[in-house]
Each structure stands twice: as C-alpha cells, then as structure tokens.
A = this chain, B = another copy of it.
Amino acid sequence: MIAAAERRAGRDSPDFELAGRDHSVAALDRLSALLADDMQAVNRIIVDRMHSPVALIPQLAGYIVAAGGKRLRPLLTLAAADLCGYTGTRHHKLAAAVEFIHTATLLHDDVVDESERRRGQDSANTLFGNQASVLVGDFLFSRSFELMVEDGSLDVLRILSRASAVIAEGEVLQLATTNNLKTSESEYLAVVAAKTAALFAAACEIGAIVADRPAADAAALQQFGTSFGIAFQIVDDVLDYSAREAKLGKTVGDDFREGKMTLPVVYAISRGSEIERTFWRRTLEDLDQREGDLEHAVALIERHGGFGSALDLARTHGALALEALNSLPLRPMRGTLAALVEFCINREF
C-alpha cells in the first residue's frame, strides 16, 4: 500500500521504515492465532449476550457481528492483558463489552452516514431499517455496560464510559467538518482522536486494569492505543480512495461521495489552486458529483502528495505507538503488537 501510494504521490521512499515488512504482513493473523482460545471465549460471550427475547435484536446484531470485521478492538484488550502478564478470564467479558460498544457505533454511524454497504455486504440499516439500527445499537451499548458491571471494576467503567462519550463527541465534530472545505489538519486529527483512537486507547488501557498493573503501565497502554488508533484511521481514510474493493470489504469512494473531509483531501485542498477549489466545492460541499469526479479527486490528491503526506503522518503516529510500547514489560506480545502496528500501516485493505 505504502509503495503504491507513494508511486502515485511521486515519492520514492518513506521518510522512515518502522521495521522489516515481510514478516509483518500476517501480524493480525498471528495475533488472532496467539489469542485464539481467548478470542473464542470472547465470541461465545458476544453471541450469548446479544440474545434477547425480542427476536429482531439477535437477528440484527447477529447479522452485523457475523459480518465479521477484524475484531481488532477486543483483540487489543486481550493482547494488552497478556502483555501485562494477566492469566485470568475477566478480560473476556470486557473484550466483548468493547466489541459491543464498537458495534453500536457502527450501527449508528451507518444511520448517520446513510451508508448502504458495510464490510462488503448490505449495511444493517439497508436491510433492517434505520429505526431498528438505532435501537439495536442502544441495546448493545446498554449490554456492554451490563457486562462491565458484572465484572465490577469501577476503573474499567470509568474508562469505557468516558471513551463512549468522547466517541460521540468525535462523531458530532465529524458532522460539523463534513462538507466543510475549511477543515484543517488539526480538526481532522481531533475527529480521529475522538471517534477512533479513544476506543483503541480504552481497549488497551483496561488490559492493564484487569492485570492490576501500576498506573504507569495503564498510561503507556493508553498512549499506545491512542497513537495506534490515529495511525489506523489515517490509513483507513487513505484506503477509502485507493483500496482494492474486495479486500477492504467496503465501497471505495464512500468518503468522497459523503463529502467527508479526510486527510488526503485536506492536504490536496490546502495545497491546491483556486480552480481546484471550485472542483472540491462542487463535489464535497455541494455534493454535486458526476461521472469521473472520483478519479479526478484521486488525481488531484496524488498531484499534491496528499496520500504520501497522510501516510507519513500515520507512520509518525505509528512510531509514537511503538515508543509507548517500550516502557511496557518485555514479553513476546510486545513484538507482536509492534508488528501489528506496522501491518495496519502497510495494509492494502
């Protein structure tokens, strides 16, 4: 991905490399394999706890949960707990709670974005209607707090209730930047830090809480999650213009069609001419889009090195994530998490 984007952006090589690339491609698979038993326990809790006597709830929740996704956030909770030397089972319920929060935000996002596709298939709102998506999101959100209450840690409850509020703030902030050409790099980063990185950070931090580690470890994991989450979302936004559709499992060009002000576009606009600005105003502000506009947008972003600069910033945050890892215990999981960061930055889907 980096190579392709840089070719497009007219750059020969990244400013720095995180680590060797070859062995990192399968990092997510390796993490999943390492934590397979734990993840099975988490999946059992997810299936068990999305149950409700109201049949539509498990139907709709099952649809979106079965659609898969990477289960990245619950994996982070499991991995963080492992890195902290935790050997119990409390983190299973909490990882399920994290995934429920994430699933609830996806359901509400799709209503907000009026998305028709999610993870390569019809989105839940397309199939079940906006009303059911809003309400089942509320159900999963409530259920996640029930799981936390059963665990009984007020620290975990504090961290995840705070993260949930920040996510909602980020989504509202994103509404305000959508279709707004004036959106700056720092406004974009504020959105990303809130809507994506807050849950990555919380998912990691609670690993230290269940392992009863000192505050410094919790803070380091929180920092790791924040930086990783920002890097992850930047790459996601680059891929929205350039991913191979089948692999990403989402329609390329969604952000463009919705007029979302993601980083490649923010750079292209700030570096572009007045004439180009007219194009962006028509397509992103007025959403008056025609055949060939997406291709022209990609060409403009490439002309101004928008993809390359975005990926540079992703790598900067990736490096911060690795730095945060350094203060944590030197267990095998540390290398696995480092490889995961690199993998997520280099992924093509």
CA distance in complex: A111, B132 (Å): 11
Annotate A127-149 by CB proximity to B: 1 below 8 A, 0 otherwise. 00011101110110111011011
Q: Is A332 an interface residue (CB 8 A)?
A: no
B149 and A165 form a contact (CB under 8 A):
no
Closest to A101 in B: B142
A164 and B149 form a contact (CB under 8 A):
no
Given contacts A154-B154, A169-B54, contact A175 B135 (CB under 8 A): yes
CA distance in complex: A143, B108 (Å): 17
Nearest Cβ on chain B to A91's Cβ, whole angstroms: 19
Binds B, one of A155-163, A286-294, A339-347: A155-163
Interface residues of A, CB < 8 Å — how many? Answer: 41
Tell me what chain A mostly uses at the interface: helix, strand, loop, or mixed.
helix
Closest to A112 in B: B131
Given contacts A152-B154, A169-B52, A172-B54, contact A145 B161 (CB under 8 A): yes
21 residue pairs bridging A and B, Cβ less than 8 Å apart: A53-B169, A56-B176, A57-B169, A57-B172, A111-B131, A111-B134, A112-B130, A112-B134, A112-B135, A131-B175, A132-B175, A134-B134, A135-B175, A138-B164, A139-B168, A141-B141, A145-B145, A146-B162, A148-B161, A149-B158, A154-B154
Q: Measuring CB to CB, which residues of chain A are less than 8 angstroms from any residue of chain B?
A: 52-54, 56-57, 104-105, 108, 111-112, 130-132, 134-136, 138-139, 141-143, 145-146, 148-149, 152, 154, 157-158, 161-162, 164-165, 167-169, 171-173, 175-176
